[in-house]
Structure 1
Amino acid sequence: MTPRTLFSPRLALRPWRPEDLEPLFAINGDPDSMRHFPAPMTRAESDAWAERMQTHMEAHGWGFWVVEERGGAPFVGVVGLMTVPWEARFTPAVEIGWRITPGFRFRGYAEEAARAALDFAFGELHLPEVVSFTVPGNEGSWRLMERLGMRADGTFEHPRLPPGHPLRQHLLYRLAAPPGG
């Protein structure tokens, strides 16, 4: 399926290009950027993650898009939608997530891009709901979830992390499609 490109006032959410792998690794390999994940990724792990994102986008026409400034920086980060690939009390589900390059944080780009992705999820995909999740210590992400209108729905144990892992407990947020959406 042909991948879609989305636009917001300042940003384009576009399909992947080979030159996106290096700036993606700058996020995925950065200990500070990945502090709420089990570990920073190696270059091979980051490239494999990008390949999974590209494969999903090619199969569905949507997924995690590369975010670029319109008329500016070609890589701000990645924001998008993904089918949750494991079982939990809320699956099957589509999640929304984001990873923004450190130099572009605190400019509202994650929120702007996430709103464009949510508009697509509800307006074109007609999804009944989108979820998001993070560890309790990732206040920036769960605050963004709240600004997006998502509502907290308790916690869950992330099934891909072993029992006792300090990041296993996750907060779950949900956003239902707007009426008529």
Structure 2
Amino acid sequence: MAVPQTPRLVLREMTPGDLDDLSGLLGDASVMRYYPRPKTRSETLGWIEVNQRRYRQDGHGLWIMHLRDGGAFAGDCGLTIQRVDGVDEVEVGYHVAPGLQRGGLATEAAIACRDHARDALGVRRLIAIIHPDNVASQRVAQKTGLTLEKRTRDYGSGAQEVMIFAMCL
């Protein structure tokens, strides 16, 4: 399966071998501050397994990001199907390692995923589901070309109100 690439990042499918890096990322309170809570190591392994199923079933999922220069783990970014207001939507999502945040990597990866969704997968609409307080993620969505469309609680767990940024591709 083709995976998008960027000038500064190499993206690839997740494997169980990524558990240490992903556990550090998804278990970090600052990275997960807009989620109900950080993930445990066991939950992170489940995250990897869910994405491996997505690769097989949907042809995409969240991919591991490594820096081209030096190969350091940078986070994850990719495309997932999310049910919002009763409709299946393709979402672009991203988590960047704390030491690499605020350097444009999330935007670079999200743009590559947006273009991959349109050009390789034929997706015609892309969304991002963002917590209202997550201003940095809102900026990434806007730089990727998405605009605020609505607020909803009718998604996934629906535990809190989220903002839906969207664009037609």
Residue 119 of structure 1: aligned partner: 115
Can you give the 5+ residue segments of structure 1 that lack an aligned partner in the other structure?
163-167
Give the Cα–Cα distance (whole angstroms) in 1 for the partners of residues 11 and 17 of structure 2. 15
The Cα offsets for residues 120-178 of structure 1, whole Å up to 9 and x where unpaired, read as 1011111110011111101110111111110111200144144xxxxx0100100111x
Amino acid paired to 1:135: H
Mapping 1:43-62, distance limit 5 Å: 43-62=41-60
Number of residue equivalences = 168
Summarize the Cα distance change of 1:32–1:158 in structure 2 as closer, same or farther, 3 Å threshold: farther
Contact 1:150 1:175 in 2 (8 A): yes
Residue 165 of structure 1: aligned partner: none
1:92 Cα deviation from its structure 2 partner: 1.4
The Cα offsets for residues 34-61 of structure 1, whole Å up to 9 and x where unpaired, read as 1100011111111111110121013333
1:94 paired to 2:75: no
1:176 paired to 2:151: no
1:67 Cα deviation from its structure 2 partner: 0.8
The TM-score with structure 1 as length reference comes to 0.87
Larger Rg: 1
Q: Given the alignment, which residue of 62, 67, 70 partners 2:68?
A: 70
1:137 paired to 2:133: yes
1:73 Cα deviation from its structure 2 partner: 2.6
The TM-score with structure 2 as length reference comes to 0.93
1:107 Cα deviation from its structure 2 partner: 1.4
Q: List structure 1 runs of 4+ shifted beyond 3 angstroms.
A: none
Residue 12 of structure 1: aligned partner: 10
Report the RMSD for the aligned CA atoms in angstroms. 1.5
1:72 Cα deviation from its structure 2 partner: 1.8
Summarize the Cα distance change of 1:19–1:59 in structure 2 as closer, same or farther, 3 Å threshold: same
Amino acid paired to 1:75: F
Which structure has more strand as a fraction of its residues? 2
1:18 Cα deviation from its structure 2 partner: 2.8
Give the Cα–Cα distance (whole angstroms) in 1 for the partners of residues 142 and 31 of structure 2. 21
Can you give the 5+ residue segments of structure 2 that lack an aligned partner in the other structure?
none
Residue 80 of structure 2: aligned partner: 82
Give the Cα–Cα distance (whole angstroms) in 2 for the partners of residues 128 and 90 of structure 1. 18
Contact 2:77 2:110 in 1 (8 A): yes
Q: Percent identity?
A: 29
